[in-house]
Amino acid sequence: MWWHANINKELILIKFHYFLALGACAPINPFLFTIGKQRGYSAFVMGITSSALNIPSFILRPAIGGITDAYKCRKFTFLLGEVLMALAVIALICTPGASGSENIDDNTVFKTLLFWVFFCVLFLFYLGNTMRMVTEDTICVSLLGDNAHKYGQQRLWGAVGWGTFSLISGVSVDWLSEGKDYKDYRAGYVVSLICSILDIYVSSRIKVEQVKKTDTLGGNMKKIVTDFRIIALLISTIILGFLLSFITNFLFWYLEDITNLFHPEYYSWIKTIQGLSLTIQCFLAEVPLFFVSSYIIKKIGSMNVFTLAFMIFSIRFGLYSIIENPMFTLGVELLHGFTYALVYSAAISYAAKLAPVGAEGTMQGMVGMSLIGIGIPLGSVVGGYLMKDFGAITTFKLIGIVAFTVCIFQAVMNLIIKQMYKSKNETNETS
């Protein structure tokens, strides 16, 4: 049939993969800091924990990219990561929880067996997540070929999965926690496990083809580290991860703080409110921006997207710092599309454009390392310290100022790069 011939089966499967993979993460990743808070761990302890959990991203992302490029084992690594995630979720379901919110001294936390069991299970989950993420984006842009700028139109289905299952998870946790003085997160873990199992099946059906390498790993790395455009991209991505960590790690902590301070009547449904905030982030912010990301990136340029994102970050943090009603923060989540979906699409597609032939995985690994292996852990540690000593409201005010400052820095850097490569092009044309 004519309509069947026009359907790209591989792109449909990668869309389903993003939907289920992000759906598997939604009940765990955004709730992690409040799970730790309920266990009695301070913001500083959770900041240190989050940084340690992202060590695989720092060490393994570029290594995984290089190894899968060199040995053509991208699909095996892809599936192995998903299996590790599923095993970690099973272990998380079996890990004893906490039924109180009494703060534990920071020094005491690291001496308890329960903390290290909890940490090791999460470390396995993050390790699998790292393996999945570095390979899935490389597979996606490889399937797109010359249309790498359409990456966002595939990745938006991850936002749909994240928004759908975060809300389902939040409502389920509140429902099963009714009448208890703590939140029972096991319902969310079960949702995560179901998504993980389905994702393994879908991913096994994706056909992965790798281009034969035309250069050595050392030669590719030399090209990467000597291209100032790539260096600028990696610096900008580190800053993006730093700012993004305050949203991913501390937004729910902030929501619980302002609820306890100003509107305690909302506490019984706080997980539903948190889940709803993610749903708005995804359906009303990420999905539209992922969908139009190709047009915007082509119109204003990838690096100018970073400038726009940093400006929106400064506005977003400023609004958080003056809001007292947790329900009002839901409107602020509409800005999330600019501070994540659009700029993430720009980073991935620009990395694909700049990557040497045969080093696509290495390049995506470098970008992932900058975002998740350096930027987010750095923000987690700094954020944990600030949250502990100054509180959520003051912390968000300070980070809003930081975001505005880096916005100016980004704009200046973009002008320098534009002039630099304009001069090089003119030299090549006259030589």
User: In this structure, how many other beta carbons lie within 10 angstroms of the beta carbon of residue 295?
Assistant: 11
Location of structure tokens 């060199």: 70
- Supply the pLDDT for residue 411: 94
CA distances from 375 to 49, 144, 224, 273, 347 (A): 15, 28, 19, 27, 14
Distance between CA atoms of residues 126 and 55, nearest Å: 9
Distance between CA atoms of residues 321 and 192, nearest Å: 32
Distance between CA atoms of residues 96 and 328, nearest Å: 35
Q: Are 10 and 143 in contact (CB under 8 A)?
A: yes
- Supply the pLDDT for residue 307: 96
Topology, domain 2-206+216-424: Growth Hormone; Chain: A; (1.20.1250)
Distance between CA atoms of residues 419 and 58, nearest Å: 32
Coil, helix or strand at residue 227 = coil
Burial of 3 (0-12, 13-18, 19+ CB in 10 A): exposed
- Supply the pLDDT for residue 5: 44
Instruction: List Cβ neighbours of 416 (8 Å cut-off, separation of 6 or more).
Output: none
Q: Are 348 and 9 in contact (CB under 8 A)?
A: no
CA torsion 169→171→175→179, rounded to 10°? 100
Distance between CA atoms of residues 277 and 326, nearest Å: 10
Backbone phi and psi for residue 406, each to the nearest 5 degrees, phi listed first: -70, -25
Q: What is the CA radius of gyration of the chain?
A: 21
Look up residue 268 and give its DSSP letter. Answer: G
Location of structure tokens 């390049």: 363
Instruction: Give residue 179's region: left, alpha or beta (phi > 0; psi -120 to 50).
Output: left
Q: Which of 401, 228, 252, 236 is nearest to 333 (CA)?
A: 252
Q: Which of 172, 150, 170, 174 is nearest to 162 (CA)?
A: 170
In the chain, where the domains are located: 2-206+216-424
Coil, helix or strand at residue 160 = helix
Q: What angle do CA 140, 247, 410 make, to 5 degrees?
A: 75
Instruction: List Cβ neighbours of 288 (8 Å cut-off, separation of 6 or more).
Output: 337
Q: Are 245 and 402 in contact (CB under 8 A)?
A: no
- Supply the pLDDT for residue 27: 93
DSSP string, 317-357: HHHHHH--SGGGHHHHGGGHIIIIIHHHHHHHHHHHHHSPT
Q: Are 49 and 41 in contact (CB under 8 A)?
A: yes
pLDDT averaged over 10-residue windows placed end to end, the chain, 431 residues: 55 95 93 88 89 77 74 87 96 78 82 93 92 86 81 89 89 87 89 96 88 52 74 94 93 89 88 88 90 91 95 96 91 94 91 77 82 89 90 91 96 89 49 29
Q: What angle do CA 160, 162, 166 make, to 5 degrees?
A: 125
Distance between CA atoms of residues 403 and 240, nearest Å: 9
Q: Which of 389, 299, 328, 344 is nearest to 152 (CA)?
A: 344
The structure tokens listed for 327 are: 């329900």
The structure tokens listed for 260 are: 């306890």
- Supply the pLDDT for residue 412: 94
User: In this structure, how many other beta carbons lie within 10 angstroms of the beta carbon of residue 114?
Assistant: 13
Location of structure tokens 């996606």: 140
DSSP string, 366-420: HHHIIIIIIIHHHHHHHHHHHHHHH-HHHHHHHHHHHHHHHHHHHHHHHHHHHHH
